Amino acid sequence: ETTALGEDTLIHVYVPTSPNPTSGYFLLVPEREVTSVDISIEEAMKLIVSGGLYTPTGAVASALAEAKWSQIKQPDAGVPIG
């Protein structure tokens, strides 16, 4: 965690890319804009490396469905996405 010049705490987020997760990028995101999903690293890597073709089951599928991954959340500040 990092504290910005303002009041917000920033969370360090690594966003891996598919199919090579080592070629991702690093972001500092306000904590209020982060959605935490309780999945294992193994499940997350399967999702990334498969390019979305892997379909998780059980608790992982429920966690991903609740997070509304299909919707792009526009940032509260900065440049709009899309």
> Within this chain, do residues 29 and 4 fall inside the same structural domain, yes or no?
yes
> Within this chain, do residues 5 and 23 fall inside the same structural domain, yes or no?
yes
Q: How confident is the model at residue 6, as a pLDDT?
A: 66
Q: How confident is the model at residue 75, as a pLDDT?
A: 65
Q: In what order do the strands lie in the sheet with 9-15?
A: 2-3, 9-15, 25-30
- pTM of structure: 0.53
**Residues across the chain:** 82
Q: Is residue 77 part of a domain?
A: no
Query: Mean pLDDT, to the nearest integer, of 58-80?
Result: 62
DSSP string, 13-78: EEE--SS-GGG-EEEEEEGGG-------HHHHHHHHHTTT-----HHHHHHHHHTTTTSPPPPSSS
> Within this chain, do residues 1 and 22 fall inside the same structural domain, yes or no?
yes
Q: State how far the Cα of 48 lies from the Cα of 59, in Å rounded to an integer.
A: 18
Q: Domain total for the chain?
A: 2
Q: Is residue 13 part of a domain?
A: yes
Q: State how far the Cα of 41 lies from the Cα of 21, in Å rounded to an integer.
A: 12
Q: How confident is the model at residue 44, as a pLDDT?
A: 80
Query: Which residues constitute the domain of residue 60?
Result: 37-71
Q: Give the model confidence (pLDDT) of 29-67 as tens digits.
A: 888 888 777 778 888 888 788 877 777 766 666 666 665
Q: Is residue 53 part of a domain?
A: yes
